Structure 1
Amino acid sequence: MTIGSHLEELYGLPAFTFPGPDVPAELPEAGTVAWRVTSDVYDADEEWEDAFARFCSAVDTTRVRALIVGAWKEAYDTAPTAVVESLLAARDRLPALRALFLGDIVFEECEISWIHQTDVSGLLAGFPELEEFSVRGGTGLGFSALRHDGLRKLTVETGGLPVGVVRGIGGSELPALEHLDLWLGTSWYGADSEASDLEPILSGARLPRLRHLALRNSEIQDEVAAAVAAAPVVARLDVLDLSMGTLSDEGAAALLAGQPLTHLTSLDLHHHYISEPLRRRIRETLEPAGVDVDLDPDDADENQDDDGTVHRYVAVGE
């Protein structure tokens, strides 16, 4: 699986790409779309910061509610330091900004694990009214423990999430957070956390309003599932997502043996390596209680040698 399409919406608003300097266009009302400001990764004629400066001149930024940062020049080798500096320099001009996505870059521009990132804590500190924040790419990504009273949704998409980011998020005070989505990834691309590093998140102590928890795309999905099975935060979740990883019978059995999950509205385990008997047990346990269970497709069959050896992969790596 690769990320082949740019965002179509953010914060419930349709995405609209701010046009290049030589492309005349009639612009929509500032508050009606999620604005995507982008450059080119290769041979960019215009730096991202220059495109953003044009955007700030052409659009009533005081009414902009959602902003998507697309590609920047040489994202495969260059962190978006100048991008972050430009955003922070313009924060007084963006008083209505409530959603920010950093790195809406598809594989044709730069593979997810090639995207260089930076410490994003300054953006959250600089925009205390943000309600949604997402970042794509794990190389060089940093996230220091912080407090943010407005953030409701946090998404980190990587092929390999550094342990420092996991610990920084776990150590943060996020009293309004309802939706947390972490793509943990694989050690091939920088993932170095263990299930124990998730304990501050799984305790729920700093996340009193969390209702949607996704810990996915992980090569240690069985260990994550075992930790989740006894996690205090699970009792108040509506949605649990352990998809896109290498979940096998071991992790599935741990979930079934752990605390009841019948209170969930949704359990997402798609892209898994669970045998048919365990899949049947999960469905028989949860679906009669009204839980929407996603167990498709069965990747064990797809990645099995003639001798029965199963090769397990996360959905998004490179």
Structure 2
Amino acid sequence: MTIGSHITTFAGRPVANYPDDLGKAKRAGTAWRLEDTDYDDSGEFRERLAALAAEDWVGDVEALVIGNWGGAYDTAPPMGLLAELLPRFTGLRALFLGEMTYEECEISWIQHTDISPLLEALPLLEVLTVRGATELSLKPLRHERLREFTIESGGLPAEVVRAVGECDLPALTHLELWLGTDNYGGDATVEDLAPILSGTRLPALTSLGLRDSEIADQVAAALAGAPVVARLEKLDLSLGMLGDEGAAALLAGQPLIHLRKLDLHHHFIGEAHLARLTAELAQAGVELDVSEPSRSRRDDRYIAVSE
């Protein structure tokens, strides 16, 4: 699986391109997409960002989707310019940074930098999604309003996972980390997840996704006794290399029948453990997604999104 198409909605709003869709889309209630239409850095992204920031209706913009900022395969987003201009978007509540298809830039090629200035410049931001993790960093910080935080990657560095766990995010209800594979920098271990799994951080968390992971079995084993699970409504271990070992750990661990949904799609679980999961969870009213099964040997397993 690769990311082959752009999103059409973000944060509950339809996506429209700026400036091409002016006159066709509502100024408010739209997630405006900004990008450089040249794969290389033509300067078009910065021009479009400045133009949108200068619109007399900039305060009506509630959501932004930032695609290729120009040469994203070897150039980080212009964080200084973003931190300078985005505060003019006084109504901005949702931001997607790096929404690119594989044809524009493979997920593991997208270059990043420290994203802390975005959160510091946008104290009212409620939703942040970041795609790509090469050179990505985050310093532990406090943000009062962030409710949803997602990092999509083919390999998420351990230091980023630890930094997320060290952040003070009292309003966060949804956290989603695509852990990826060590082949693309995803060197996080379950020990790096400990602050998140302990339940002492992120007091409002009800939805946790630890997705696209080659260590899905170890993550499942850690979750089997993790205090945070007791207050979750949704647990998502999809897109990874979850097999019988991880399924057995989930079945032997703390009860999961309080969950509203358990998402395991794209997995390597055998029929016997699938039957037990269905009997114990689906029959208890848990929405269980075990679609996209594979019977590959352990050595042939793969995560859904890597390069």
Deviations 1:139-185 (Å, cap 9, x if unpaired)? 01111111111000000000000111100000011110000010000
Higher share in helix: 1
Residue 157 of structure 1 corresponds to 152
Amino acid in the other structure paired with 1:5: S
CA contact (8 A) 2:53 2:86 kept: no
Residue 17 of structure 2 corresponds to 17
CA contact (8 A) 1:41 1:109 kept: no
Residue 166 of structure 2 corresponds to 171
Residue 39 of structure 1 corresponds to 36
Amino acid in the other structure paired with 1:38: E
Residue 89 of structure 2 corresponds to 94
Q: Give the match's secondary structure for 1:182.
A: strand
Residue 76 of structure 1 corresponds to 73
Residue 124 of structure 2 corresponds to 129
CA contact (8 A) 1:41 1:72 kept: no
Residue number among 301, 306, 311 corresponding to 2:300 in the alignment: 311
- CA shift at 1:59, angstroms? 5.6
CA contact (8 A) 1:136 1:156 kept: yes
Amino acid in the other structure paired with 2:301: R
- CA shift at 1:38, angstroms? 0.7
- CA shift at 1:131, angstroms? 0.5
1:196-207, aligned counterparts within 5 Å?
Answer: 196-207=191-202
CA contact (8 A) 1:75 1:115 kept: yes
CA contact (8 A) 2:35 2:70 kept: no
Amino acid in the other structure paired with 2:3: I
Structure 1: unaligned runs, 5 residues or longer: none
C-alpha separation in 2, matches of 1:251 and 1:186: 17
1:162-311, aligned counterparts within 5 Å?
Answer: 162-300=157-295, 303-304=296-297, 311=300
- CA shift at 1:56, angstroms? 2.2
- CA shift at 1:100, angstroms? 0.6
- CA shift at 1:30, angstroms? 2.3
Cα 1:281–1:111, aligned 2, differ >3 Å: closer, same or farther? same
Does 1:8 pair with 2:8?
Answer: yes
Cα 1:59–1:186, aligned 2, differ >3 Å: closer, same or farther? farther
Does 1:67 pair with 2:64?
Answer: yes
Deviations 1:227-246 (Å, cap 9, x if unpaired)? 01101010011100011100
Q: Give the match's secondary structure for 2:65.
A: strand
Q: Give the match's secondary structure for 1:130.
A: coil
C-alpha separation in 2, matches of 1:98 and 1:246: 34
- CA shift at 1:28, angstroms? 3.2
CA contact (8 A) 1:41 1:75 kept: no
Amino acid in the other structure paired with 1:34: A
CA contact (8 A) 2:151 2:177 kept: yes
Cα 1:24–1:177, aligned 2, differ >3 Å: closer, same or farther? closer
Q: For the aligned residues, what is the CA RMSD?
A: 1.5
Amino acid in the other structure paired with 1:134: T
TM-score relative to the length of structure 2: 0.96
Deviations 1:178-235 (Å, cap 9, x if unpaired)? 0001000000100111111101001121211111100010010000000011010100
- CA shift at 1:41, angstroms? 5.0
1:137-152, aligned counterparts within 5 Å?
Answer: 137-152=132-147
